[in-house]
Structure 1
Amino acid sequence: MELHYRLDAALAHEHLADAALSAAVEQFPDVVVRRRAAEGPADQILLQAAATANLLVISRRPECRTDCVTPPPNRPDRLDRDFVAQAPNRCWVADFTHIKTWSGVVHAAFVVDTFSRRIVGWSAATVKETVFVLDALEMAIWQRDREQHPIQPGELIHHSDAGSTQYTSFRLAEHLDAAGIAASIGSVGDGCDNALMESAIGLYKTELIKLQRPWKTLSQVELATAEWADWYNHRRLHGEIGHIPPAEHEANYSRELTKPQVTTTI
């Protein structure tokens, strides 16, 4: 069972020492995110510990559909569900979700670097057209340029699922080709082919959208998404990368690359 505690680490260890921990977050106090509803003894222990610590427990269920269709031949699935990258800017995954607001539906697109789980680009819009996923891609490219870690032609794969015409459009393919990014597309209707991105969007919906609804406008969603993405990248602890934030994981990698090599002579 994977847990994400947003409370003091010492208090979390006192109640569940084997849990994956996140740092305290002022805007989201006392929240535990669980992957499934209580089913066994371990789950009952979790619920009792949460009640003792005065925590709110939120359940989320990962979805994995199996009505698979072969991706377009010119943009094959280059990952085959292997989301492990050896360095930043080797593999980006992308997808979008929907948020109901009082003024209409808002669509939010994200681009995540699989090496660090970092959100490198995102976009929100009220019109679900290709340009809105292009905005997330362009932000990701700009972000890496600004950090002086630009993408290198031929090194990066951009992966999405085939269920949305925005990601299978000729316009997006042109942008990827012009930037030297290899396009990769999973099967239609199979969330497991883009599981890492599905997980990130699940956290976004659980940790932000569901907690702060009702939402009124696009601008309100944009502001909250910007704040959440900054927290997610710089302060949220991720168990997959050693219980540190994505930005710290990338900084550690860069530091290792620039560390002077010690040689010995005999």
Structure 2
Amino acid sequence: MSAQKRRQYTEEFKTEAVRLVQESGKPVAEIARELGIAENLLYRWRTEEHNARRLGTTRTNLKAEHEELTCLRRELDTVRKERDFLKRAGGVLREGAVMRYRAIRENVRRFPVRLMCRALKVSAAGYYAWHTRPESQRAVHNRALLVSIRAIHAGSRCTYGSPSICDALQKRGHRIGENRVARLMRLHGIRAKTVKKWKATTDSGHKLPVAANTLDRRFAVDEPNRVWAGDITYVWTREGWLYLAVVLDLYSRAVIGWAMGPRLTADLATQALTMALWRRKPAKGLLHHSDRGVQYASGDYQGLLGRAGMTCSMSRKANCWDNACVESFFGTLKKELIHDRRYLTREEAKQDIFEYIEVFYNRQRRHSTLGYRSPAEFEAMNQVA
């Protein structure tokens, strides 16, 4: 024989049963018999009603408050989902309906369709109508472009923005404009790394002779081995600071000399210049520009410049713009490599920086000043020795 189904009582029935006990003066057991319910059940209802009154409310009000709380929790959950969705696709609010529909389709496994439609201010019927239509040729092309954009972006170590990626696509044969590339990148959250501020290492508080600013910010150079520029920066490791000195040929912006060490010395700058001279073997009359730091004003460094027949030029005091090309290289290095790393040792940092300079920067990285070519590609086109 099956168990008897448990009876359900409404809130109104419970309230009236308790009121009957309170107003009739009859024992609880007698009222329970008259109502056909268990005596302990009526006792429990009376206790619940008493507790509710102590809290200043009624059973009905408690139920209403519970329902309201449940509703508020549901609404809060919806708001959170809308917020999370908008973090992923909020940029398309500035785009047309089709771009919004695509954002919904890409997130359909994460969020309810109606929630996304409401967040992006489009109708669910419009989305479903669009979703069932055959995909346009432009949409198919955009999907193929997106694959190429992601590959180029990843190959650049996430450093390229829309101009560089557009140029790379055009050189691969795509007929596409920068605005379209920028729109696709924005829609899919593809961004170039941003620059962080860094501290200069120049110590110009010395009494050594300094040279005039002969370069005078004329950074556009028509021939190789006519103007070089040098500077020093630093990289933090768990072992302490690692200092990096470089020499750039302003014609191609290539790093032609570099040296790294644990101390900020004149010898570090001299090593970088020695490498550049060994690589390029320039004719006499080359202009060498640097800041007026003690490393570049030292006797050893100036002696090396003199023996190579190079003319010295130095930035004005506390004016980083006078050596903007090398400052720009250091900013690029730190943005694209250093700020994403946590080096345990100086040797680990050295290997990483060496690979960045010699493999990536000089031979692969596109430079807008060079017509979106790498320094090596630019020099090869002009047969630099």
Q: Give the TM-score normalised by structure 2.
A: 0.51
| CA displacement, residues 125-148 of structure 1 (integer Å, 9 cap, x when unaligned) | 00111000111111111122xxxx
In structure 2, what is the equivalent of residue 225 of structure 1?
353
TM-aligned CA deviation for residue 249 of structure 1 = 0.9
Give aligned pairs, total.
220
Match of 1:123 in 2: 259
Q: For 2:284 and 2:377, how far apart are their aligned partners in 1?
A: 25
1:58 matched residue in structure 2:
193
> Contact 1:31–1:55 at 8 Å: present in 2 too?
no
Structure 2, unaligned stretches of length 5 or more?
A: 1-143, 163-179
Partner of 1:198: 327
Q: Paired residue for 1:153, among 272, 280, 284?
A: 284
What is the alpha-carbon distance in structure 1 between the residues aligned to residue 338 and residue 306 of structure 2?
A: 34
Contact residue 153 and residue 160 of structure 2 kept, 8 A: no
Please state if 1:139 is matched with 2:287: no
Alignment deviations for residues 213-234 of structure 1 (CA, whole Å, 9 cap, x no partner)? 2112221111111111121111
Deviation at 1:97, TM superposition (A): 0.6
C-alpha displacement of 1:53: 3.2
**CA deviation after TM superposition for structure 1 residue 52, in Å:** 2.9
**Paired residue secondary structure (2:236):** strand
Partners of 1:161 and 1:236 lie apart in 2 by 26
SS of 1:188's partner is coil
- Give the distance between the partners of 1:120 and 1:93, measured in 2 at CA: 10
Compared with structure 1, are the counterparts of its residues 177 and 214 closer, same or farther at alpha carbon in structure 2 (3 Å cutoff)? same
Q: Give 1:179-194 correspondences, 5 Å limit.
A: 179-194=308-323
The alpha carbon displacement at 1:172 in A equals 0.5
* RMSD of aligned Cα (Å): 3.5
Per the alignment, do residues 98 and 74 of structure 1 end up closer, same or farther by CA in structure 2, a change over 3 Å counting?
A: closer
**Does the residue aligned with 1:92 lie in a helix, a strand or coil?**
strand
Q: Check whether the contact 1:50–1:57 (CA below 8 A) recurs between aligned residues.
A: no
Question: In structure 1, what residue type is equivalent to 2:366?
Answer: L
2:383 to 251, 254, 257: 254
Letter in 2 for 1:52: L
Instruction: Identify the structure with the greater helix proportion.
Output: 2
- The offset of 1:170, in angstroms, is 1.6
> Once the two structures are superposed, what CA deviation does each residue of 1:118-172 show, in whole Å capped at 9, x if it has no partner?
110111100111000111111111122xxxxx20012x1110011x210111211
Using the size of structure 1 for normalisation, the TM-score is: 0.72
SS in 2 for 1:234: coil
8 Å Cα contact 1:72-1:185 kept in structure 2:
no
Which consecutive unaligned segments of at least 5 residues does structure 1 have?
1-8, 16-21, 35-44, 145-149, 258-266
The residue type paired with residue 325 of structure 2 is: L
Displacement of 1:51 in angstroms is: 4.9
Which has the larger share of strand? 1
Q: Give the equivalent residue in structure 2 for 1:208.
A: 337
Indicate conservation of the 8 Å contact 1:23/1:235, yes or no: no
Q: Is the 8 A contact 2:256 2:279 kept in 1?
A: yes
Structure 1 residues 72-151: aligned runs within 5 Å: 75-144=211-280, 150-151=281-282
